[in-house]
Structure formats: structure tokens, C-alpha cells
Structure 1
């Protein structure tokens, strides 16, 4: 009985892990584009004002990962502060970038944040105690399998999904160099989401040969 309890607990932990994910869904790079390490990259996270702490984490983690690879990256929040000093004036914004010696701008936009409610049946796995009835173990496994499907109540789970879009612009050439779409489902903490996001983006930039691998 004790072993069964440990087994079910392990299954529960695996299920929780499976529901929590951060992944890249698509990416694209301008042909032949490649960043130079001496160029300065400004990282700007575009998130709702009420999620300022998430903005700071997203910017700081990307800056950290880019610096690890030898690139000159800076955070817009750390440079300009919480106020929206770039405003809506393109000329003023570009002038501000020039004053900070910025060559490229990486934007990270939270394009969507949604909550999804799903019904999870009590028995939805495979084997003697879940899924379709098990025929190879006698009466009880078969009976228990059907009983669970017919009578045991399930539960509702609510997942929070973040969708992100990352763009890298070259200010001198005035063109988009890189685009990536990614999603995070039920991140345990804002820090963990920002950390995994930054790791995946930099890894993909290496895969796309936009930045060099050490």
C-alpha cells in the first residue's frame, strides 16, 4: 500500500511538471545576419505597467545570457528607469538610442496572457488503475478501471499561459534581423519564466547563427 502511495505521488509530480513548460514555437532570421560583439544591444521588455517586476526580470536575464556569450547588452529599464522616456516620437527615441550608443534593439513583447480552465478526469492514464480497463490482471483491475471512469469525480485545473514575441532590430540598417515566438504555461515563478526564456532565446540565436557559439 505504501509503495502504491509513493507511485501515485510520483505520477502527480510528473503531471505537474508536464503542465509547466516554457518553449520556443517558431523563429526566423534575416539571411546572412550576424551580430558583432562590439555592438551594443538594448533589451526592452514590453509588458503591462502593473507587471513591472516581470519586465525587469525579462530584461535582466536576457542581458545576462547575452553577456555570457560576450555580447554588449544593456537593459532599457536599468538605463532609462521606469518612466516611458521613449514615448511616441520616433525621432526622439532614435536620438535617445544614439546618445546611449545603441546599435541594435531587442524587444520582448507579452502579446497575450490568458487563463484556461480544463476538466481533468480522475482516471485518465493507462494501466490497472486508470485509462481503459486492464484485461490482463483478473477481475479487480478490470472492475477498478471501469469504476474510476464511471463514478470517481475529476477536477478542474486552471492554467496561465503567456505568449511572447521577440524582435531584434538593427538601427543603422533599419531592418528586422530576428523574430521568435514562444510560450510559457504555468511558470512556477516570474524569475523561472524569465530565466528559461532567456536561455532558449540565446540558444536559438546561436542555432540560427545570429550569434557565435563559444
Structure 2
């Protein structure tokens, strides 16, 4: 793997020849979940990758009648450049609530096969995060630690939908897991991944 790619966390965004939805989970207490304004978070150290992914995801949401907002337009540079506390993240969540956000769509790489090195905490890729703050805090090093990943072949990605509901924790509404192999083309990879996720959410009556 070339050194210039070590800074990326959403490695699927370099492109792929195979993108497969391998599983979904929906909160059994939720029958329908509508959202009018969604914050789209794509965890990546490379700002260009992050911007491109979030932009394309927002565009797809708008096609479905949902107002999406990129996290790159909400989180300032300083916020994602270093480790944040649970208290700081709680403040951000309250600000989102005040701005009438309904949900957060959170995408990240959670693991890989045929890897050389990976942070020890990623060994348990099946861990279920039911709160946005826990999920973010567990993986926030993706933004600023260049040694977080080393060499990958098959990437396991995850998109989680959290509600922003008055009087409630930012609980998990839906989660989709996708496997990506053989990075090749960035534009095709982004579009394929986003359409796969939005289609799955629509079929399970989430957001759309």
C-alpha cells in the first residue's frame, strides 16, 4: 500500500470493484423513522475525501426529499484535529438539536481482512454502539492519528443512523455493514456505496 494512502480512513472512497451489503440492524422499537434534516458524517483524515463523500451523500438524500448537511460544514477544523471528550461532544449534540437536526448518518471503516496492523480496539468489529457519542469517541482517532490503519485488502464499513430526539440519548435507529474489495475508482465507489445504503434504509422504512 502506498504511503500517501495511509492517511485515509474511508479507504473505500478510493474506489472498488466489489461493494456488498453484508448485514443490517434496525431498532426493534422503531417501526418508522422519518427525518427532515440529517447531519452526514464521513470519518476520514483526508479532507478532500471527506468532503467528496459527504457531498455525494447529501445530494442523494436530497433526491429522496431529505435535507442533508455535511459535517465538514458543521465541525470546525480544530474539532476534528484532536481528541475530544464526551462533554464536548454532548455540547455539539445539543447544538444540533437546537438547529432542528433530526438524525446523524455516521460512516466509518470498522475493520479489514488481510491487514498488517490495526488498532487493538478494532478487534471487536461486531460491537454494537447504541449511542452516537460512544460510537464517535471510540473511533475519533480516525481523524488525526496517521498510524490508525496500515495495509488493507477487504474493508468492512459501517453506516449508522442515530436519532436526535428531545429528551432522549442519541440512540441507534439503524445500521448497515458493507464489505468493499479491490480499490480502483473513487467516483464509482462513492456512488455505489451511497446508493446501496440509501436503498437499504428505504426498504426498511428508515428516513425515507
**In the alignment, structure 1 residue 165 sits paired with structure 2 residue 158:** yes
Deviation at 1:92, TM superposition (A): 1.5
Q: State yes or no: 1:181 paired with 2:177.
A: yes
Aligned equivalent of 1:205: 201
Q: Render the CA deviation track for 1:99-151: whole Å, top value 9, x for unaligned.
A: 4321211110111356579xxxxxxxxxxxxxxxxxxxxxxxxxxxxxxxxxx
Q: Secondary structure at the match of 1:84?
A: helix
Corresponding residue SS for 1:93: helix
- Provide the C-alpha distance between the structure 2 equivalents of 1:90 and 1:83, rounded to a whole number of angstroms: 13
SS at match of 1:80: coil
For the residues of structure 2 that align with 1:30 and 1:186, how far apart are their CA atoms?
Answer: 32
Unaligned segments of structure 2, at least 5 residues: 1-15, 117-150
The answer to whether 1:34 aligns with 2:27 is no
Distance 2:19 2:58 in 1: 19
Q: C-alpha deviations, 1:37-95, integer Å up to 9, x for none?
A: 5x211011123x2x332222222222111111101111101333444269322331222
Residue in 1 that maps onto 2:186: 190
Q: What SS does structure 1 have at the residue aligned with 2:183? A: coil
What does residue 150 of structure 1 align with? none
| C-alpha spacing 1:56/1:69, structure 2 compared with 1 (3 Å) | same
What is the TM-score with the length of structure 1 in the denominator? 0.61
- Secondary structure of the corresponding residue to residue 92 of structure 1: helix
Q: Secondary structure at the match of 2:153?
A: strand
Larger Rg: 1
Unaligned segments of structure 1, at least 5 residues: 1-18, 118-157
Q: 1:193 to 1:92 in 2, by over 3 A?
A: same
2:68 aligns with: 73
Counterpart in the other structure of 2:96: 97
Distance 1:33 1:177 in 2: 10
Structure of higher RCO (CA pairs closer than 8 Å, 6+ residues apart) = 2
Asked if structure 2 preserves the Cα contact closer than 8 Å seen for 1:22 and 1:196, the reply is yes
1:45-60 maps to which residues of 2 (within 5 A)?
45-47=42-44, 49=45, 51-60=46-55
Distance 1:64 1:196 in 2: 14
- Tell me the C-alpha RMSD between the 2 structures: 2.7
Cα gap change, 1:100/1:62 in structure 2, threshold over 3 Å: closer, same or farther? same
- CA 116–211 in structure 1, closer or farther in 2 if over 3 Å, else same: same
